[in-house]
Amino acid sequence: MTQSQRRVSIIDVATAAGVSPTTVSHVLSGNRPVSEQTDRRVRAAIATLGYVPSHAAQSLRSGSMRTVGVLVPDITNYFFAQLITGVEDAASEAGFSTIVGNSRFDTARELRHLNTMAQRGVDALVYVAGAPPSRRILQELSRRIPIALADEEIESLVTSVVVADHRKGGSLLGSHLAALGHTAALVISGPPSLASCRERLDGFKDTFTGTAIVVEADYLEGGGSAAIESHPPDGNQPYTAVCALNDLMAMGALAGLRDLGYSVPEEVSVVGFDDIAAAAVIDPPLTTVHQPAYEVGKTAATQLLNDIKRGQRRGSSRHVLDVTLVVRHSTAPPRSRRGRSL
């Protein structure tokens, strides 16, 4: 069998470049510095021979699968899709692949994904809580691999954290509605087990000077429409504004108000949180808080990869990324306020 008929080996590359197989491994992995001249010779030999490294062999030699796991609660949500893209880009730039798990806000499903990732030997994990978090297995995993919490913090878990400024976002929504003259708002909150929900709600209460009628709902469109159905604007607790603590619930609220015959923003104003792509194109376009989903994912993955380079299994850094209010056409002064201003 000639060399052209068999798989090119690392020894072939080393022979062609005039270096040892170990040096070729260092060039491929980037784990050890080599001279610029040696690096060029090795890469030229790789290109000439058409050498393709065996991922399995590299993993056995290094003890690393060069894989980052990312677990999110809803892969169909644009926010989480952007977060995953940020993780993938950071991982790819460092020569790592990505495994994605979708918990669908289900604790049992989340646990299965975490166990699978542990069994597959991922080198690091970006974790986004969507259900009451699996603290025990996360604590066990954090002793073995670096973990970064993205978008959600978990009390008592010592690890790296990358979040948006949820409390500031809530306060921006509260002050916006208060400035328009609203004195009562239905606040559609997600699961209280999520730190982001609690912080957004606290921020809203910090700045909204009127009455906040808080309703817990599923973190999906159906949760928003169900909240409107059970708490209509002219019910026992009337209001002129709706603050949904994510955009999906806000979109559900818009549909629920439309079904009941209310116009937005003429009769009821609606705000959301996240600034997913659909927020700009629904009718009416949604006033919301923009949080940088892509940057959250990329920052979390970059932190993990830096921890791996340093040989650090448990990081403790905390990054808080800024948020901004995006005012569109779903908010206006309440009708009575507009009437007085005429």
DSSP string covering 252-300: HHHHHHHHTT--TTTT-EEE-SB--GGGGTSSSPPBEEE--HHHHHHHH
In the chain, the domains with their CATH numbers are 10-62 (1.10.260.40), 67-164+293-322 (3.40.50.2300), 166-291+326-341 (3.40.50.2300)
Question: Residue 276, Cα to own-chain centre: how many angstroms?
Answer: 12
Q: Are 270 and 242 in contact (CB under 8 A)?
A: yes
Write the CB contacts of 192 (distance below 8 Å, at least 6 apart in sequence): 198, 216
Q: Prior bond to 191 cis, omega within 30?
A: no
Per-residue pLDDT of the chain in tens (342 residues, 90 and over written 9):
444 456 788 888 889 999 988 888 778 766 667 888 998 999 899 889 888 765 545 554 445 678 999 999 999 999 999 999 999 999 999 989 999 999 988 888 988 898 888 888 899 999 998 867 667 778 878 888 889 999 999 887 888 999 999 999 999 999 999 999 999 999 999 988 889 999 999 999 999 999 999 999 988 899 999 999 999 999 999 999 999 999 999 999 999 999 999 999 999 999 999 999 999 999 999 999 999 999 999 999 999 999 888 877 677 789 999 999 999 999 999 986 444 333
DSSP 82: H
Helix (H) or strand (E) holding 330: none
Q: How far apart are CA 53 and CA 57, in angstroms?
A: 8
Q: Whole-model pTM?
A: 0.79
DSSP 163: E
Helix (H) or strand (E) holding 83: helix 78-93
Strands 184-189 and 241-244: parallel
Residue found under tokens 């499903």: 109
Question: Residue 123, Cα to own-chain centre: how many angstroms?
Answer: 19
